[in-house]
Amino acid sequence: MANLKRAHDELFRRSPDEFFPDIGTLFEYCARERKEATDRWQLPQTLEPCVEEGSLRLKVGTDGAFLMNDWSFSQLCRLAEVAKDTLNRLSPETAARALTETLPSRARPTQVLTGGDLVRSIQGTNYTRLWNVDLLSMVREFAVDFGPPPKAFNGGTGLYAGEQDLFVFLTDAGGWTEIKGEAFAPGFFVWNSEVGRRSLGISTSWFQQICQNHIVWDATEVVEFTAKHTSRVAESLSEMRRVLEGLVERRDSRRESFARVIARAMEEKLGNDAKEVLKTLGRHGIPQGIGRQAVNLIEGKGRFTIYALVDAVTRVAREIPNAGDRTELDQKASGLLTLVEG
């Protein structure tokens, strides 16, 4: 099993204005970004750095001068092959002149993405964009029972979007099930960038715990798929859909199987009387004193069903001071369910 730190890393690099409370709010934000976005194809030598109102801007065709954010300014510097740190030490007028003199002359156009009065990115012809709203549409369609994890210590929600990229962490709080006698829940990460900041990807897993730093502990069955933003990126979205469908199908199968086990455990007895039950509990590693307390909790309340005894042993375990001993006893109690599996 592995400890997954992808959501943890995202938590510590995000500012509060990139937090979103739920998937619906995030979807609306991404849909608005898509609606306001325009791709403008220009030869790099026709881009005109200029200064307006004391700020460095970029004229793109005949549509006026646009502001730049840190990401698009960095891309413009790379296109001109000028160090960003050097330009940042210059006055806006000198920086504009330096960029004008160093932008290349090429026969192939440059892809300039704008949103409102802002240049969001500057890329070449090899880049193919996948919109965040299209990714979220797929997620909302195939992961209807999944929601954000518990909030992190700093209010981080696992749902993030900013000027450079998007990251989503979702789990199914009702999807807990038994895998080899231990409790696991399904969850996944998806990520994307509309501006070339990062690849497109998904990672699904079954995990045992999420801490307040959003580290996913003891993850198993980890499946990951990533893709670059090339001309076939739409096909990659289809592959991501298959990965997510696989997680959902596995969850449903395990949920149905576990429900059948519980139903049988509520019917089948571990023994006909307290003496016989204590012997059986002992054969399955339950200490005699713990077994006696569990039997006393349910004696006289009906049959000694496997389900009732698992519940009783778990309740007794809660009173044990040592966390390691509690966990060991919980696992032994859950192991009784194997008597009705198959």
pLDDT in tens, 152-187: 999 999 999 999 999 999 999 888 876 666 678 999
Under a CB-based contact definition with an 8 Å cutoff, are residues 8 and 212 in contact? no
Alpha-carbon gap, residue 103 to 39, rounded angstroms: 20
pLDDT at 312: 82
The per-residue DSSP string of 55-86 comes to EEEEE-TTS-EEEE-HHHHHHHHHHHT--HHH
- Give the count of alpha carbons within 13 A of 240, CB side only: 28
Q: What are the tokens at 246?
A: 């696989």
**Average model confidence (pLDDT) across the chain:** 89
Would you give the DSSP letter of residue 305? B
Instruction: Band the pLDDT of 304: cuts 50, 70, 90.
Output: confident
Nearest partner of 189 among 168, 172, 209, judged by Cα: 168
Q: What is the mean pLDDT of residues 92-119?
A: 93
CA 105, 83, 90: angle at the middle one, nearest 5?
100
Give the pairing type, strands 118-123 and 65-68: parallel
Query: What pLDDT, in 10s, does the model give residues 232-272?
Result: 898 899 999 999 999 999 888 887 776 777 777 778 888 88
Residue 175, pLDDT score: 83
Mean pLDDT of 39-43: 93
User: Look-up: residue for tokens 């409102």?
Assistant: 116
pTM assigned to the model: 0.77
Q: Which long-range contacts (CB under 8 A, 24 or more apart) does 136-142 make?
A: 136/23, 136/26, 136/27, 136/30, 136/168, 137/27, 138/237, 138/240, 138/241, 138/244, 139/23, 139/168, 139/170, 139/190, 139/244, 140/23, 140/27, 142/241, 142/244, 142/245, 142/248
| Percent of the residues in the chain that have a pLDDT greater than 70, as a whole number | 95
Select the more confidently predicted residue: 69 or 311. 69
pLDDT score at 323:
61
pLDDT tens string 62-80 = 878 999 999 999 999 999 9
pLDDT for the residue 302:
60
Q: How far is CA 148 from the centre of its chain?
A: 8
CA trace torsion 299, 303, 304, 310 (10° rounding): -100
Dihedral sign from CA coordinates of 17, 19, 23, 24: negative
Give every strand in the sheet of 110-115, ordered side by side.
37-42, 110-115, 118-123, 65-68, 55-59, 48-52
Say if residue 205's pLDDT is above 90.
Answer: yes
Rounded to 5°, angle at Cα 107 from 58 and 69: 25
Give the C-alpha distances (Å, rounded to integers) separating 10 from 5, 285, 295, 304. 9, 42, 48, 49
- Please state the rounded mean pLDDT for residues 11-18: 94
Lowest mean per-residue pLDDT among 53-62, 136-145, 202-211, 283-292: 283-292
Only one residue has tokens 């109690």, namely: 333
Residue 159 to residues 31, 123, 133, 143, 315: CA-CA distances in angstroms? 15, 26, 13, 15, 36
Question: Which pLDDT belongs to residue 1?
Answer: 62
- CA distance linking residue 24 with residue 90, whole number of Å: 43
Token pair of 34, please?
């898509």
- Collapsed DSSP state (helix, strand, coil) of residue 161: strand
Asked if 171 contacts 149 with a C-beta cutoff of 8 angstroms, the reply is yes
Residue 342 clears pLDDT 70, i.e. is over it: no
CA distance 56 to 53: 9
The pLDDT value recorded for residue 340 is 74
- Report the alpha-carbon distance of residue 3 to residue 216 in Å, rounded: 6
Over residues 310-339, mean pLDDT: 75
Mean pLDDT along residues 195-221 = 92
Give the pair of three-digit tokens for residue 60: 């793109």
- The pLDDT of residue 274: 84
